[in-house]
Structure 1
Amino acid sequence: MRRFFTPALFAALAGFALTPAAAQGRLLLLDQGAYVCALPGDATGAAWIEQEGRDFSITGGSSYRTPRGSGTYLMEGKTVTFTRGPMRGMKMMRLGSGLLQQIEPGGKLGRLRCHRTGPVRD
């Protein structure tokens, strides 16, 4: 009887299956720049209501900055998870270039949206 899986082949296949790329998907980066966050308004007033203190800037690599401090994020596919810093634990869905929408704890899309407004501000 012929052996298809030698121990070395089995170890190589198991190692490949456990690599971060295979387990987590493709890692990406957000567009650098300043992001303004807002909630939708209504027909009687402003179309968008900016949320004071929610703005942030993507500064490079997987880093962001807010008025309260800096941190890091991880973007897998369209999902952005803030992993360190003042926004730690917040999740967002990338809807398009420069547009993010908050993901609520239950996985449902929330009302808060953040859009890229231009280069990083000092």
Structure 2
Amino acid sequence: MLTRLAPALLLAAGSAIAAPGGKIDALDAGTYVCELPGDAAGAAGIRQPDAAFDIVNANTYRTATGRGAYLLTGDTLVMTSGPKNGQRFHRISDRFLRLIGPDGQDGPLRCIRRVVNNG
């Protein structure tokens, strides 16, 4: 009887790990600086300081106006509370996000995790 239950228990455990939209993940802690594209005659990017945020830990972010929570499933980051509540981002790479527009497509705003050489 126990040998018949083991596969059923494993299947149940596997489905609990899965989430709609993909695997639940977390962003690396650090500051994400955001910018809009520049043009050929000037800077490559135009900083948007009001859009910047810090990832504090596995589910919390902070801005100049307060703190909130986020959920990262697959490559979709959703700000679930706080000053950015409702904003959605597409994770392009571990350090690069694009704000998703109301049409569901990647918008022009990009946020990059700051490291020593891009501060």
Shift of residue 61, structure 1, vs aligned partner: 1.6
Task: State the identity as a percent.
Answer: 42
Q: 5 Å matches for 1:58-69? A: 58-69=55-66
TM-score for both structures, normalised by structure 1: 0.79
Q: How many residues align?
A: 111
Partner of 1:30: 27
Structure 2: gaps (5+ residues):
1-8
* SS, match of residue 30 in structure 1: coil
**For the residues of structure 1 that align with 2:80 and 2:41, how far apart are their CA atoms?**
38
Q: Is the 8 A contact 2:33 2:49 kept in 1?
A: no
Structure 1: gaps (5+ residues):
1-11
**For the residues of structure 1 that align with 2:63 and 2:19, how far apart are their CA atoms?**
31
Shift of residue 23, structure 1, vs aligned partner: 4.3
Shift of residue 16, structure 1, vs aligned partner: 6.8
* SS, match of residue 113 in structure 2: strand
**For the residues of structure 2 that align with 1:90 and 1:27, how far apart are their CA atoms?**
17
* SS, match of residue 107 in structure 1: coil
**For the residues of structure 1 that align with 2:14 and 2:64, how far apart are their CA atoms?**
41
**For the residues of structure 1 that align with 2:18 and 2:32, how far apart are their CA atoms?**
31
Q: Residues 61 and 22 from structure 1, CA distance in 2 versus in 1: closer, same or farther, beyond 3 angstroms?
A: closer
Q: 5 Å matches for 1:38-53? A: 38-53=35-50
Q: 5 Å matches for 1:82-97? A: 82-97=79-94
**For the residues of structure 2 that align with 1:32 and 1:60, how far apart are their CA atoms?**
6
4+ runs deviating over 3 angstroms: 15-19
Partner of 1:3: none
Superposition RMSD in Å: 2.4
Shift of residue 22, structure 1, vs aligned partner: 3.4
